[in-house]
Amino acid sequence: MKDYFRVKTKKHFKLAEIPTCLKPRYRSDKEYEALLDTNHKKIEEFQTKLYAGHTRSLLILFQGMDTAGKDGAIKHVMSGVNPQGCSVVSFKTPTTQELEHDYLWRVNRALPARGQIGIFNRSYYEETLVTRVHPELLVAEKIPTRKKFNEAFWESRYHDIINYEHYLHRQGYEFMKIFIHISKDEQKRRLLDRFQDPKKMWKISKLDIRERSFWKEYQSAYEECLANTTSKSCPWYIVPGDDKQNARLAVAQILVDVFEQMHLEYPVLSREETKKLKKLKSMLK
């Protein structure tokens, strides 16, 4: 499953040529729930092994345009995990303190500990997306004035991120980078839906409407970003997102596949540790 959605090339591609909707894997809401529940059980078991082993970590990154369904995917796919072994971080506009440091500084502080699952709702990749569409934001980052925000600048950012991820991978971090791909028409439908649903009105933001006018620029920025930062050990996955339920099933299956390739096992006790357990058991009796 995961190989189907995996970005396999570092060559430039067009998101407009990649479908935003696929034939549903489910025939009814009941079947959708059953398929999701099956993966929930697998994910729960994998998380327990990850926590018990305490040597590896899983970092899940969600990126996508506004209304792509990142929040929903996190809520529905991760609903079966133990909250004690999972953290969710949303990367918003950098604070004054964060702007006093390099752009990866706040990322280091949010990394999951060993044995934990970390979820980034948006991530450090915003520094190659929002800032590329709006380069004027880079002024606040206090980058040396001699820097020019040209192609070489963005290539260096891609290079830094790849090296950063490879470093973390060598330290025991597994990456799952998801881009939820929706169409412009579907985004419009979801934004209009928010105006009709009292439960969603609080999500309406002037910024979301304004950023929609930069759709073409964001698509171009994502194309460059995904092509330049996918790698064998830290690949990107493009998940068609117009059908929310289908997208969640795809994300859940990719997560199961990523866990499987980690080859997680419960710790094997040494002979000495086994003896200690026997002694503790006899004391308990």
Element (H, E) at 211: helix 206-212
Question: Rounded CA gap, 53 and 13, in Å?
Answer: 39
Q: Enter the tokens of residue 127.
A: 């520094």
Per the CB < 8 A criterion, the answer to whether 200 and 194 are in contact is yes
CATH 3.40.50.10860 is held by the domain 2-284: no
Element (H, E) at 212: helix 206-212
Per-residue pLDDT reduced to its tens digit, 40-60: 999 999 999 999 999 999 999
* DSSP tag of 267: P
- What integer pLDDT is reported at residue 278 of this predicted model? 86
| Lowest-pLDDT range of 14-18, 176-180, 195-199 | 195-199
